[in-house]
Amino acid sequence: MKSIFRTLFGAATAVSLLLPVVVQDAGAKGATHTVALRNEMAHQLIAQALPSTAVSPIYLYHRCWNIINQQYFDKTYGGQDWARWEHHYDTKIKNKDDAYKAIESMLASLGDPYTRFLNPEAFADETNSIKAHLFGVGIQLGMSDLKKIVVIAPIANSPASTAGVLPGDEILEVDGELVAGQPLDSVVKKIRGPINTKVTLTMLRDGKRIPIPLTRAEIPVKAVTKAVILPGNVGYIRLDSFISAKATEELKEALTKVEGADSLVLDLRNNPGGLLDNAVQIANLFLKGGVIVSTVDGGENKASTISRGQPTFEKPIVTLINGSSASASEILAGALKENDRSVLVGTKSFGKGLVQAIQKLDDGSGMNYSIAKYLTAGGNYIHKKGISPNIEVKLSDDEYKKGLGPWWIDPTFKRFNREPVDGFDIQLLAAMAEAKNEVRKAKGQPIEPFKDEEVRKQILAKLAKPVIDTKKAAQAGSEKPTGHAASDFAQPKAPGVPARN
């Protein structure tokens, strides 16, 4: 069980970059694709190797083959004869690049998107994310249907925010090179770089080209991105991911900020996962007992993790999920729901039920590979199925594009600096209403049904009005109203959370 507790969970398909891409994924309302340190992670255990040294390329290939042979969770290996790969490339591998390509081909044969090879750079990125290390300039980016790369927001106290980068700035050039027509991940590679190195971004703002020189730095990675008490004395905590080893401590601190609330809304929307230990420890903060999660390895050996039964928060909880709530998010949501500790509100979760290890190889590269499947607290295998909410609150594409999705995402790029109290997030409003009803139930009082259709109409009426972003206008040196127009941004439909550069 000790090794299981060091396992990581995640589901976002990503590249080794530090910027988000807005992409399509049916059922994931308001999701953004993680282009960051979290490379295609599922539930992962870090296994150590010797310090990086010069090793035989063929040795690397055979080491990977042997790891899969011994530890892969599916002993049919995707319905193939795994032995055929052992010496398949022996005469073709001449150098390290050959070995890398051969390993990638071998792993692809498993048909498992969560089992993959990591070159040294990708492996370093992934392990840095666990340590909450992120290196860049500190901006969140989105790409529109018109292929414009636009700043969602600069991260507080980052090089970008200090230099005056604003939400809505469009990136035209990176170090003098035009980025029009380039994929977002390609642009990200140009922006990324070692700490203390420089990069100049040329922005388009109010029709003017503005070059902004930046020096790359370490950006703090936060697991909890919001902890406030909302109207009706409802506590609210947004848990962005479980990837940082500090996530549990951050959640504990967040609970102290809402301890005066009558109830809690725990927002796991767009949370792709992270450390299993964080999911277990956070579940322990809320549960009085019961199973949290079980794992089943390739030998069909089952191990269950039981709650300590010493919760620090015992008030009513409502948990928000959507199609981008994955892996560790599903572990926590499942544990809370199936132990009758929380009502789930939103849409069906992603459905990631496999456990991966991340193995460091001798040359500094690494490999993610599936070592087990997990079962929720109720013994359910949710892979490719997801967890259904108790109260479903769907969003149409049109509603999402108009801004009824998660409060921190504005597809119109017209209302920056949004907050959960703004009243546009229909799922959050439904969760708040349910949280208040849970308090009423505990007191034996009649509940007040959430008037979904009426509230949606009210939100759409507010969103139809012109908006002035006074904070942005003041920073830009001018104040002028900006209409709330139809967005050229497609509704995101892939698991993930905004990542940072």
**335 DSSP 8-state letter:** H
CA 403/CA 486 separation, integer angstroms: 10
Residue 243's pLDDT is what? 82
Task: Give me the amino acid identity at 244.
Answer: S
Where the chain has pLDDT below 50, the residues are: 1-52, 470-500
Which phi and psi (to 5°) does residue 452 adopt? -55, -55
In sequence order, the 6+-apart residues with CB closer than 8 A to the CB of 195 are 135, 216, 217, 218
Residue 10's pLDDT is what? 36
pTM to 2 decimal places: 0.77
CA 201/CA 175 separation, integer angstroms: 6
**Assigned token pair, 203:** 């922005």
Listed in order, the ranges of the chain carrying CATH 3.90.226.10 are: 224-354+374-442
CA 384/CA 426 separation, integer angstroms: 26
CA 116/CA 100 separation, integer angstroms: 11
**447 DSSP 8-state letter:** P
Which phi and psi (to 5°) does residue 50 adopt? -65, 160
CATH of domain 224-354+374-442: 3.90.226.10
State the sign of the Cα–Cα–Cα–Cα dihedral 10, 13, 19, 21: negative
Q: CB–CB of 328/9 below 8 Å? A: yes
Domain 137-218, what architecture? Roll (2.30)
Task: Give me the amino acid identity at 3.
Answer: S
CA 164/CA 131 separation, integer angstroms: 28
**Assigned token pair, 232:** 């009706």
Residue 201's pLDDT is what? 97
**Assigned token pair, 75:** 């002993």
Helix (H) or strand (E) holding 160: helix 159-163
Question: How far, CA to CA in Å, does 469 sit from each of 78, 97, 180, 406, 480?
Answer: 53, 50, 27, 18, 8
CA 372/CA 301 separation, integer angstroms: 9
Task: Give me the amino acid identity at 316.
Answer: P
Listed in order, the ranges of the chain carrying CATH 3.30.750.44 are: 4-130
DSSP 81-105: -GGGGTTTTTTT--SHHHHHHHHHH
Listed in order, the ranges of the chain carrying CATH 2.30.42.10 are: 137-218
Beta strands in 287-389 (DSSP E): 291-297, 302-306, 317-321, 342-346, 354-360, 366-375
Which phi and psi (to 5°) does residue 254 adopt? -65, -35
CATH of domain 4-130: 3.30.750.44
3-class DSSP assignment, residue 266: strand
CA 280/CA 328 separation, integer angstroms: 9
Q: CB–CB of 137/151 below 8 Å? A: no
